[in-house]
Structure 1
Amino acid sequence: MPEKKDHSPRPEPGPLGAGARVLVRRPSGPAQTGRIIEDYAELTDTGERGHAWAPVHRWAVALDDGRLVFADTDDLTADPSMPGSAG
């Protein structure tokens, strides 16, 4: 009998989670601030889905300029301009 994989979402790392203000740093442009609107942790394990060629990024972030971007945890830090942020 094959082992059943646990597909439950991984715990949110530190101050990151839906609603958190973040600074998004991507290689394709300047750093931008925004708010996390969704966590797609349960979709980031592509082993069974066969689309390693188009990996799912964990976080959906609504940038302050109105754009929606998808980022990995390594691309985000708590927004340093917010009081009480750890950035």
Structure 2
Amino acid sequence: MTDKNCKSEDGTAVGSRVRLTVSDSDAGGSLTCTGVVIEDYEDMIIDRGSVGRDWAPVQRWAIALDDGRLIFANDEDLTPAE
């Protein structure tokens, strides 16, 4: 993992509260959730073509949602929670 003081261009870092929209298959739509970034996997992101597949890409951030779920997301998926 990376240095815990590492931040993305928009200021996201481990410990940041964030908001994101996740798909909700039960409701057939999407749901806005909030949580805390608990890990940064920036140094593990690889070019998908280099491994010969385009499925299961590494996402940059691990986020513990307020409802107890753990999810993974990229910078463009997150906004600061206020």
> Above 0.5 in TM-score?
yes
| Bigger strand share | 2
Measure, in 1, the Cα distance between the counterparts of 2:7 and 2:69: 26
Q: How much has 1:27 moved relative to structure 2?
A: 4.2
Q: Cα distance 1:26–1:36, how it changes in 2: closer, same or farther (>3 A)?
A: same
Measure, in 1, the Cα distance between the counterparts of 2:23 and 2:75: 14
Measure, in 2, the Cα distance between the counterparts of 1:64 and 1:26: 13
Identity of counterpart residues, as a percentage?
A: 41
Specify every segment of 5 or more residues in structure 2 that has no aligned partner in the other structure, as ranges: 25-29
Q: 2:70 aligns with which of 68, 71, 81?
A: 68
Q: RMSD of the TM alignment (CA)? A: 2.4
What amino acid does structure 2 have at the position aligned with 1:44?
Answer: I
| Aligned 8 A contact 2:34 2:66 in 1 | yes
Which segments of structure 1 move beyond 6 Å, counting only runs of 4 or more? Answer: none
Pair member with larger Rg: 1
What CA deviation, in whole Å up to 9, does each residue of 1:26-78 have, x standing for no partner? 34431100000011111112354444321011110000001000011111000
Matched with 1:37 is: 38
Specify every segment of 5 or more residues in structure 1 that has no aligned partner in the other structure, as ranges: 1-7, 82-87
Measure, in 2, the Cα distance between the counterparts of 1:42 and 1:50: 19
| Bigger helix share | 2
Measure, in 2, the Cα distance between the counterparts of 1:45 and 1:11: 19
Q: How many residues align?
A: 73
